Amino acid sequence: MAKFQWLYHKTEHGPLSQLWVSFRQQHSAVIGLMLFGFFTLIALFGPVLTPYDPYLQNPDALLLPPSWDDMGDVRYLLGTDDLGRDQLSRLIKGASYTFGIALITALGAMLLGLLLGVLAGMSKGFRASAFNHVLDLALTIPSLLLAIIIVAILGPGLINTIWAIMLALLPQFVHGVRNTILQQLEQEYVIAYRLDGANNWQILRYVIFPNTWEQLTVLFSMALSTAILDIAALGFLGLGAQAPAAEWGLMVADALDLIYLSPWSIALPGLLIFIAVLSVNLVSDGLRTAVRKRQEN
């Protein structure tokens, strides 16, 4: 029953509140956000949640199936690999590699892309033309292929993988930020602010930046799913994390020879990669829809 009020007060929601209201109306986006939060917590606190040492080998428990199988062992909930290492512990530890490093690379690419995107959007003449040509060239190359090229130059390894994927994601952020700034510069309120005597820095700080954070959030969510797939792909190809690291893509590659003996060794990390990418894509689609609705209103 509605509460009676003597006076009617119109409630004005801020941009963030409006965005959240539109976002939570999408059930798939809310489910994706819950999964995203779960993977984030596992990536942050995974090392203290593992029941066993992810690298501890047990010669007496090789290739045990999950515990619900007749041949399984209740001590190892998701079974063991060919070296007797606990699968559950390695999958939890792998979240720190695949999902956690993807967060770091996407965040680093966003910050660096914001800086370069501002320079590209505010530049004119020869500098703007040079930025456009470089961006067009970089965007024609798939991010995974670009990451493979960079890793081939820097050498395989986890640290080089971070730099490679960060540089591979950079053109997307620069292109998105540049286009957003160019759109904002054409708005009437920006022109009015400039006529009042504001310089470029004041326009950026007080007018353009507050209107670009939504686009940055959407770009970050899209880049995060790409980073997860690229990290897993580089690990699968042997160019990313190196053994015995418990990275999901590397775990799939190590278990290829055992696909008929222990199919769960491939299915479990592959399923986690799929769910992680799905959760990020659901959040990304929900954010795009919410931003579009807020702009229409």
Cα gap 103→218, rounded to integer Å: 14
Using the 8-state DSSP alphabet, how is residue 76 labeled? S
Delineate the domains of the chain, giving CATH numbers in brackets: 25-49+77-296 (1.10.3720.10)
Give the model confidence (pLDDT) of 220-264 as tens digits: 988 999 999 999 999 999 888 888 888 999 999 999 888 888 888
Give mean pLDDT, residues 273-284.
Answer: 94
Longest dimension (CA), the chain: 78
Q: DSSP characters for 200-261?
A: HHHHIIIIIGGGTHHHHHHHHHHHHHHHHHHHHHHHHHTSSS-TT---HHHHHHHTGGGTTT
CA dihedral 134→135→136→139, nearest 10 degrees, is: 130
List, for residues 184-198, the tens digit of each pLDDT value: 888 887 878 877 777
- Other CB atoms within 10 A of residue 242 CB: 14
- Mean pLDDT (whole number) for 82-104: 93
